[in-house]
A and B are shown apart, each in its own frame.
Chain A
Amino acid sequence: MTQPFLDVRDLRVQFPTEDGLVNAVDGVDFSVEKGKTLAIVGESGSGKSVTSQAIMGLINRKTAKMTGEVYLEGEELVGARPEQVRSLRGKRMAMIFQDPLSSLHPFYSIGKQLAEAVLVHQNVSKSEAYGQARDMLARVGIPNPERRVKDYPHNLSGGMRQRVMIAMALLNSPELLIADEPTTALDVTVQAQILDLLRSLQDEFGTAIVLITHDLGVVADMADDVVVMYGGRVVERGSVQDIYYRPEMPYTWGLLGSVPRMDVDRGERLEPIPGQPPSLIRLPKGCVFRPRCPYHELVPGNRCDTDRPALEPVTPEHSVRCHLEPAQRREIADERLFARGGNVAGGGADPDNPNSTRWSETTSPAASNPAPTTTQEDPK
């Protein structure tokens, strides 16, 4: 079997602090193919942003320890020379950041910041670089690019700024695009526009997208595969259908249960996950989710306290890190998530795929879409 386009293996990032070693990313594996979208979900501090920055080589190696392997089309990046990774950054792999206002330089015009990204990787004249910048601004749907290049970030609206960020990332036609919460700072209508834009650009360029988010509506709308992270580890990994229809990990259930659903009575309260995310300094010896997991007592012999569960495959594409027996997990999932009828977050459901309703015959795909603007089209 050939190696996936982006292949992350046993990635670990540790930050030494005065309080001890912070295990921000603790052995993460996943892969993405060209033209596909992988979503990494998890709450704050689960290590998803650090993972993405580690792939990009944006972790300061003087203050952090990074091990494992990251292959970009067979080329290993963790052990590569910084100069080597730098020459790939912005060219073959690019990143869109969460807060476009603080992520753009306040003192330089949009045009200058975009042209700079062209000039560093392409041997072209300044005016040619500005031309590419204008073209890309037009591509991402910014009106009047000739005038906008002279504007400063603070002159633009949030949605426009995020388009500028996307334009900047796409300038050198990267094959891998990492989007770190690209829509979190935006209101929902703009959010939908930005996601549509990302999708159409992906169709056109065949870009592999790693989408980092905590918005399960966005995931359902965009992703082919999903990685659920908790405490710096992957706790569940599978296709978007696996995660939404056949989730097997108590943490994933919690995430899905805390999403507002349109098919549930207004009076129903959302179920928060009790407790706090773990401190990444002194991780529990056993399962990282054990302190917040309501089902650990079902596992005999306190294994949740003593043994670290392995990421074990349920199907070849779907793996989960949990000590519960598969039968137990299915039973609980059925009861927790599907008892009231309806799937959990609809956009990613595939009505033509009989598997998507394996445990719940009464689902109505897309009926429970949490973001009002996500459309009901099928995922790619």
Chain B
Amino acid sequence: MASYIVRRLVAMVLMLIALSMIVFLLFNALPADPARLTCGKACTPQVIEANRIRLGLDKPLYEQYGAFVKGIFYGRTYGSGKVTFECHKPCLGYSFRRGEQVTDLVTKALPVTAQLAIGAFVLWIVFGVSVGIVAALKRGKWQDRSIMAFALFGYSFPSFFIGLLLVFFVQIKWGLVGYEGYVSFFDSPSLWFQGLILPWIALALLYAAFYARLTRNQMLETLGDDFIRTARAKGLKERTVIGRHALRAGLTPIVTAAGLDLAGLLGGAVITEAVFNLPGIGRLSIDSVTDSDLPVITATVLIAATFVIVANLVVDVLYAVIDPRVRLT
């Protein structure tokens, strides 16, 4: 197992290197000129050229890439001569659009996204999986039908629509939560909660619907399995048959889905963050895309990819722990 994890980690690093190269290449192939973005309205051809040289954008791509990688591990110095500034490690670049270092932007946005994603994750797993189990056990009955109808509803409506409904009713009409938006937990736990509860619900509803269906299908499949019949034939109580035999086998595949979904969200819940105006990674990526803010785009893509790759590894290892048939070699 240890050697497996080491090999996977090496593969992960190689994958990230390849990915960063591709992202770097792709965005440099775009028609947007990074040097043009450094000066805004004050741009004259002379200024653009001067900035190009100062930022090293005149150098060949591989040298630029080398400087980018070096910045992550050692930090880098932008500019030359008298006008220079330091970008300390881990330096993900400098956004001239915002006049801020990308690392700072990311470290501010990441906790917001993490709180949104993890809160919603807990909600949808608890809610989605438990109603999925109920639906499976009450197959064909009214409980099953209403849960599945509700799931279809949650599944088919886009999350921005549900988000807007929530904002309209809960926030505007009924005034149950305030308008402050995102507030740090350490500033005011109550406002923090009010700012996040609607995004949590909007995001969790979509995933809960999906997980309710997934859990129901998994459980129904497992309940038809031969070893469930064996458990009954042993004379086990129905509670034990379901609780110990069916759930253990039926819910294992959900671990995989849950890990990957959480990782995907940690890379930015784009729509939910936009609807609720949360300053997370998702918002950061959209804004940087609309602004053609290349250093920020590169960083957000790399962060999202890192989450997905790490989650894949975690899920695989976790699976081997849960399922004795899986051998990691």
Interface of B is mostly: helix
Complex CA–CA separation, A86 to B236 (angstroms) = 7
How many residues belonging to B are interface residues under a CB distance threshold of 8 Å? 22
A58-B229, A105-B227 given as contacts; is B325 within 8 A of A88 (CB)?
no
Query: Which residues of chain B in 238-274 are interfacial with respect to chain A, using CB atoms and an 8 Å cutoff?
Result: 238, 240, 245, 248-249, 252
Quick check: A56 and B249 within 8 Å, CB to CB? no
Query: Which residues of chain B in 220-243 are interfacial with respect to chain A, using CB atoms and an 8 Å cutoff?
Result: 225-227, 229-238, 240
Interface centre among A90, A99, A105, A152 (most CB of B within 10 A): A105
Q: Which one of A99, A116, A154 lies within 8 Å of B234 (CB-CB)?
A: A116
Quick check: A106 and B226 within 8 Å, CB to CB? no
Inside 8 A of A56's CB, which chain B residues have their CB? 233
Quick check: B226 and A168 within 8 Å, CB to CB? no
Quick check: B230 and A97 within 8 Å, CB to CB? yes
Distance from B319 Cβ to chain A, minimum over Cβ atoms (Å): 11
Q: Which one of B227, B237, B325 lies within 8 Å of A154 (CB-CB)?
A: B325
Inside 8 A of B236's CB, which chain A residues have their CB? 90, 116, 120
Quick check: B234 and A117 within 8 Å, CB to CB? yes
Quick check: A89 and B234 within 8 Å, CB to CB? yes
Quick check: B233 and A58 within 8 Å, CB to CB? yes
Is the CB of B324 closer than 8 A to any CB of chain A? yes
Inside 8 A of B323's CB, which chain A residues have their CB? 106-107
Is the CB of A17 closer than 8 A to any CB of chain B? no
A58-B229, A97-B226, A97-B229 given as contacts; is B235 within 8 A of A107 (CB)?
no
Quick check: B325 and A104 within 8 Å, CB to CB? no
Interface flags, A86-97, vs B, CB<8A=1, else 0: 111111001101
Quick check: B248 and A94 within 8 Å, CB to CB? no
Quick check: A95 and B249 within 8 Å, CB to CB? no
Is the CB of B322 closer than 8 A to any CB of chain A? yes
Quick check: B232 and A107 within 8 Å, CB to CB? no
Q: What 8 pairs across the A-B complex have the smallest Cβ distances? A: A90-B235, A89-B235, A102-B226, A90-B234, A103-B226, A117-B234, A105-B227, A152-B324
Give 12 A-B contacts (CB < 8 Å), ordered by A residue. A87-B235, A89-B233, A90-B235, A97-B230, A102-B227, A104-B227, A106-B249, A106-B323, A107-B322, A120-B234, A120-B240, A152-B325
